[in-house]
Homo-oligomer: A and B are copies of this chain.
Amino acid sequence: MGRKQAVTYQDIAEYTGFSKATISRYFNDRDSLTLEKQDTISEALKKLDYRQNKVARVLANGKTEMVGILLPDLYHHFYYQILNKILGTYREFGFKFLVFNGDHNEEVERRNLQELMAYKVEGMIVLSNTLSSEELAGTGIPIVAIEREDRSIHSITTDNYLGGQMAAELLRKRGCTKLFHINSEVPPGYILPARDRIPGFVDYCEKNAISHQEYYFRYRPDQESLQQQIGAILEKIEACRGGEKAGIFAGNDTYANTILNILLRRGKKIPSEYQIVGFDDSPIALDAVFPISTIGQQAQQMAESAVSLLSEEMRKMRQRRPDPSKEPIHKIIQPVLIERETTLREKSDRE
């Protein structure tokens, strides 16, 4: 707290001759005061250089207006982009965000969760995926998941299935006759909405009788092995496509970029021999040698929906007789297709 004895309502009250209650009303229900008193208080505040203490207010009324954010990391574009958009809602909603990075570690996440509860956050937005939604729901406060397992909590999720379909459809419309999907493996039992892209892609191919194949590599954070593994997969694909126009749907834009670079290095022609579609609309897709077509998640809309939904649930909890939604609310956001140079059929080839 301010060392030099912070100015309090008590001081303002003595200075103006009013009561503490009146000072409080000045802040919370100004219209209930006469204009004269308002002015008197207003001047006193300036005179004494009063600073609000919202901690005391919180203790008294229970409204922290704080929201916790649980992030798995800040490395992937999607997470920092969403965080950016969430922070941006401050102007509209006024929530203060207490941000934690769980680092994909269950115990760390659990500690973070406890800390958020101890600080009496009124709600949480969770992007990390190590804690079950049941455990999160156990906190008793409103929680909105973004792009993660959401059985027992509200959620905002991209329509990944549709995204996979869109990718397949684009490649087909651009003349690809053999479609491929390249992605990283995922630990079995790990629920990740993003994986719905794959059935979306596969189902589209099946329904339209398009040849398709899926390849998975073991995820390793280092660039070297990623290159090697994707390189090996691309060799198989080259053998498999038999001179036909191949369409590759990558698990994300980083993979797409790696694929693009390897293909170019091997002298393949883009997009006449190979076409590529990524996912995420990351900066890398735009900055690649040839800007990469990608399926974008609408981060702005996702963040807004999440905060808005959370805000509503928080409101319900603040009532005398709290009435949270009985069933989790799940919102689906449509992805958008962003076509760039790795799929354009008209222009001349890049090499």
Q: Which residues of B contact A117 (CB under 8 A)?
A: 51-52
Q: Is the CB of B51 within 8 A of A55?
A: no
The stretch of A80-88, A152-160, A238-246 in contact with B is A80-88
Measured CA separation A297–B81 after assembly (Å): 22
* Residues 91-107 of chain A, each 1 if its beta carbon lies under 8 Å from chain B, else 0: 10000111111010000
* A96 CB to nearest chain B CB (Å): 6
Q: Is the CB of A1 within 8 A of B54?
A: no
> Which chain B residue shows the least CB distance to A283?
B284
Q: Which residues of B contact A258 (CB under 8 A)?
A: 287
| A interface residues, how many (CB within 8 angstroms) | 58
Cβ < 8 Å to B, chain A residues 61-100: 62, 64, 66, 71, 73-75, 80-81, 83-84, 87-88, 90-91, 96-100
> Which chain B residue shows the least CB distance to A56?
B59
Q: Is the CB of B80 within 8 A of A119?
A: no
Q: Which of B59, B88, B288, B291 has a CB less than 8 Å from the CB of A59?
A: B59
Q: Is the CB of B99 within 8 A of A62?
A: no
Q: Which residues of B contact A283 (CB under 8 A)?
A: 254, 284
Q: Which A residues have a C-beta under 8 Å from some C-beta of B?
A: 1-4, 51-56, 58-59, 62, 64, 66, 71, 73-75, 80-81, 83-84, 87-88, 90-91, 96-101, 103, 108, 112, 115, 117-120, 140, 223, 254, 257-258, 261, 264-265, 283-284, 286-289, 291, 317, 322
Given contacts A3-B322, A53-B120, 9 further A-B contacts (CB under 8 A): A74-B87, A84-B101, A87-B99, A91-B108, A97-B98, A98-B98, A258-B287, A284-B287, A288-B289
